[in-house]
Amino acid sequence: MPNDLSPTARALRALEIIQARPGTTAGELAIRLGVTERAARRYVGILREAGIPVESARGPHGGYRLGRGTRLPPVHFTQAEALGLVMAVLSGQPSAAGAEDLVSTALGKVVKALPESVGQHAAMLREYASAAPDPNSARPDPAITSELVGAVAARHRVLVTYRSEVGNEWEAEVDPWSLVVRYGRWYLLCHSHRADAIRTYRVDRVRAVRRTGHGFELPEGLDPVAVLEENLGLGWEFSTRVVFDLPLTEVAPWIRPPMGRLEPLADGCVLVGSTRNPAMYAQEWLARLPFAFRVEGGEELRAAVVALLARFTAAVADQP
């Protein structure tokens, strides 16, 4: 924490920590506040003097926690926290700089509720900062997202109505494992009973969510981000197979997970996956590789590479 905070500000920060993590010890509180244990206990004493019942217990399961029925004061932000909040919102959702955006109105209410000494710079940042929209981002419906978050938390199997990019619509029964935000897009990582496999669905393309009467068990040790990355390059319409005459260790740093799975061969390695857009796969992914490769499949990707080659050949052809 900043060293120039007043004792009252640190006491309020201590209250937030204890509220968020009941059982926080004096040592843990000291680390979070950036002070000594003695100072941390002093801030707890300030809270008690203000009438906030902070209880403490000894032993391995002890620590500080708030008493029952505690009425907490309004949320307190430091100036750095307020600025960080505005920056995070504008970075993640550039449209929040406008007046008509849903997130913009919510952010405006938060900024207006801040004390002038804290909110002044946040308001100025919001007013004068500009954010360019990300053409690849997509905002899902908040109601749909809320339904999915609730199902993930309760571990309830759901029926999702999904519409693909080309307009095809279907219903799938899935176990919703997690929601993952990746490069401005929200994904539902789940197990599809329709396909009996792991699937990743764009949340902005989910049209409806209905809970079933079934629950599910989350895979042990699940890393949602890693599993999503591994599966983004699988299960698409057009298969891909690209062979390299180099060791896997040299090729791997250039391969993004959505491109597929890189496997060793006796005299090199092979990239196996699938794509919904062979032209994009050739132009944006294969064209940037700094070494030779052979596209052995599928036919759609081979055709896309031939078309790309023809374009570049024409670009350097001698003019009549």
Q: Output the six-digit token pair for 36.
A: 């000594």
The DSSP H or E segment spanning 9 is helix 7-20
Report the alpha-carbon distance of residue 154 to residue 263 in Å, rounded.
Answer: 37
Average pLDDT over residues 13-34: 87
pLDDT in tens, 208-263: 999 998 999 999 999 998 888 878 777 778 999 999 999 999 999 999 888 988 99
Report the alpha-carbon distance of residue 75 to residue 82 in Å, rounded.
Answer: 11
Report the alpha-carbon distance of residue 86 to residue 279 in Å, rounded.
Answer: 38
Q: What is the pLDDT of residue 270?
A: 96
- Counting residues of the chain whose pLDDT is more than 90, the rounded percentage is 38
Angle between helices 7-20 and 26-33 (to 10 degrees): 130
Taking alpha carbons only, the member of 55, 52, 65 closest to residue 24 is 65
pLDDT above 80 (res 39): yes
Taking alpha carbons only, the member of 234, 158, 167, 146 closest to residue 190 is 158
Angle between helices 102-113 and 79-92 (to 10 degrees): 170
Distance of CA 83 to CAs 79, 109, 184, Å? Answer: 6, 15, 21
pLDDT in tens, 292-316: 999 998 899 999 999 999 999 999 9
The DSSP H or E segment spanning 117 is helix 116-128
Angle between helices 26-33 and 37-49 (to 10 degrees): 100
Report the alpha-carbon distance of residue 300 to residue 303 in Å, rounded.
Answer: 5
pLDDT in tens, 42-60: 999 988 888 888 888 876 6
